[in-house]
Structure 1
Amino acid sequence: MNDKTKGNVLVVLQFALIAAILLMASDEVNVPWIYVGGVLFIAPGIIILFFSIKQLGGSLTANPVPRESGRLIETGLYKYVRHPIYTGLLLATLGSCVQSMAVVKFFFWFLLLALLIYKARFEEKLLAAKYSTYTDYMKRTGRFVPRLK
């Protein structure tokens, strides 16, 4: 399987897991602090997603294979984290899991986490091959969360 096809499979799996988490019916939990707890993950997740997508600009693609015309972004959120879009997705979907407290949603969230770790590693291999400075960038930044100094 070539890189583009593998990337497409990963994207389909990613969106299927996100859909399963967000659209799966679950019993309503009428506990205000649980609802607020979910919002505390969802809100920053959506904000991180928005700014990450905006900062990538023309380099944005859901497929882990970098665009031919793309460039390496090392500013904004990308100054601190290599994959802030994945960070935002994980936070927002975790918030949905917290709000529902459905075990099956948490199961799908852990599958999403595993998939995004795999996808990020695959993407990083391709980015390192395309951009000579990517290996140094990896040493300075965390994958999903900022690296402590």
Structure 2
Amino acid sequence: MPDNVKSYLFISIQFACIGYLLFSGPLFANNSWLFLLEILGIGLAFWAVVSMSQSKLNVLPDVKNGATLIQSGPYKKVRHPMYSALIVIFLTLIVDEFSVVRLLVYLALTVTLVAKQFYEEGLLKKEFGQYKYYQENTWRIIPFVF
């Protein structure tokens, strides 16, 4: 399968899962603690986007021409903080408004993000010689876990 097709497949599944989760329940958790955790996830996503805007931000896992490897902001500790943020945000919404279907869609989103991350890291290794060192000194998605 050509790389471009893989990239669009990952994004299509990711956005389909996100769309379903956003439209099948409330946008914000009703529980105060879950709401706080959701806001922290949104803050992490915003911080990651602002940090990545120093390079060539791309929704696809492909590396754009002229992109630079960002290692500041949340990228100093986690290689994929946008994925981390999505996992946290939607976990709070699943716990707050649980259904088996929503849980299965959340699991599909998580598996897609992890697979996309492995694919993306292969592309980043080819593009940036220092990426291997960066991998050795950062967590993938969840600090102290993965």
TM-score (norm 2): 0.90
Larger Rg: 1
Deviation at 1:101, TM superposition (A): 1.8
In 2, Cα distance between equivalents of 1:79 and 1:142: 9
Q: Which residue of 2 aligns with 1:17?
A: 17
Instruction: Give yes or no for the alignment of 1:143 onto 2:140.
Output: yes
Letter of the structure 2 residue corresponding to residue 81 of structure 1:
V
Letter of the structure 2 residue corresponding to residue 106 of structure 1:
L
Structural mapping, 1:33-72, within 5 Å: 35-57=31-53, 58-72=55-69
Instruction: Give yes or no for the alignment of 1:75 onto 2:36.
Output: no
Off by >6 Å, runs of 4+ in structure 1: none
- State the secondary structure of the residue aligned to 1:135: helix
Deviation at 1:107, TM superposition (A): 1.4
Residues 42 and 95 of structure 1 are in contact (CA less than 8 Å); yes or no, is this contact kept in structure 2?
yes
In 2, Cα distance between equivalents of 1:108 and 1:38: 19
RMSD of the TM alignment (CA)?
Answer: 1.8
In 1, Cα distance between equivalents of 2:137 and 2:144: 7
Deviation at 1:121, TM superposition (A): 0.1
Greater helix share, 1 or 2?
1
Give me the identity figure in percent: 29
Structural mapping, 1:47-126, within 5 Å: 47-57=43-53, 58-126=55-123
Residues 42 and 91 of structure 1 are in contact (CA less than 8 Å); yes or no, is this contact kept in structure 2?
yes
Residues 41 and 94 of structure 1 are in contact (CA less than 8 Å); yes or no, is this contact kept in structure 2?
no
Q: Once the two structures are superposed, what CA deviation does each residue of 1:70-90 show, in whole Å capped at 9, x if it has no partner? A: 110011100000000000111
In the alignment, structure 2 segments of 5+ residues that lack a partner are none
Letter of the structure 2 residue corresponding to residue 143 of structure 1:
R
Residues 81 and 143 of structure 1 are in contact (CA less than 8 Å); yes or no, is this contact kept in structure 2?
yes
Deviation at 1:103, TM superposition (A): 2.2
Letter of the structure 2 residue corresponding to residue 15 of structure 1:
F
In the alignment, structure 1 segments of 5+ residues that lack a partner are 27-31
In 1, Cα distance between equivalents of 2:142 and 2:59: 20
TM-score (norm 1): 0.88
Residues 17 and 111 of structure 1 are in contact (CA less than 8 Å); yes or no, is this contact kept in structure 2?
yes
Q: Number of aligned pairs?
A: 142
Letter of the structure 2 residue corresponding to residue 12 of structure 1:
S
